[in-house]
């Protein structure tokens, strides 16, 4: 379990930071047992130039449709979480992407994930995409119609 922030870097050197408190909540939703359904939510954070800091997440709740191998984030509470963060932060915090879990140790996007993201995420600003596996996390960035995986950035 990470007690520090996680930092990822894209091929242009732009950073995505997941604040430890947000990562702890993501970590909690891992599908460690056969009875654990996929979970999903939105990422709430701030944009600092080309860098993105993920400060909060929305979590599964009423209205979401969840099975072992799929999730449909339909609950209104996800948008309400974004709205609340936006107003409380006087417009600094906003929607920056999406997350969901996969029941595998080392996750990667499925064809359905890629198709859905390309179809539904139309904001011209970059969107961050997270898949939480049992042991690892996959982090990607969607810009335009391209989705690229990010690499874990370590301090040197």
Catalytic residue among 3, 38, 59, 104: 38
DSSP 60-124: --TT-EEETTEEE---THHHHHHHHHHHHTTTS-EEEEEEEE-SSSS----HHHHHHHHHH---S
For this structure, is 46 an active site residue?
no
Nearest to 76 by CA among 56, 58, 92: 58
Is 63 within 8 Å of 75 (Cβ atoms)?
yes
Residues designated catalytic? 38
């Amino acid at each position: 379990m990470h007690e520090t922030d996680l930092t990822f870097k894209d091929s242009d050197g732009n950073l995505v930071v997941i604040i430890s408190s947000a990562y702890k909540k993501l970590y909690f939703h891992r599908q460690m047992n056969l009875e654990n359904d996929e979970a999903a939510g939105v990422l709430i954070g701030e944009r600092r130039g080309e860098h993105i800091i993920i400060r909060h997440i929305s979590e599964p709740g009423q209205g979401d449709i969840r099975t072992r191998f799929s999730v449909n984030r339909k609950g209104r509470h996800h948008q309400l979480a974004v709205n609340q963060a936006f107003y409380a932060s006087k417009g600094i915090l906003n929607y920056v992407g999406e997350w969901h879990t996969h029941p595998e140790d080392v996750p990667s996007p499925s064809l359905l994930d890629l198709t859905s993201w390309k179809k539904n995420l139309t904001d011209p600003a970059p969107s961050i995409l997270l898949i939480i596996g049992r042991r690892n996390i996959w982090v990607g960035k969607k810009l335009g119609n391209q989705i690229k995986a990010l690499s874990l950035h370590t301090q040197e």
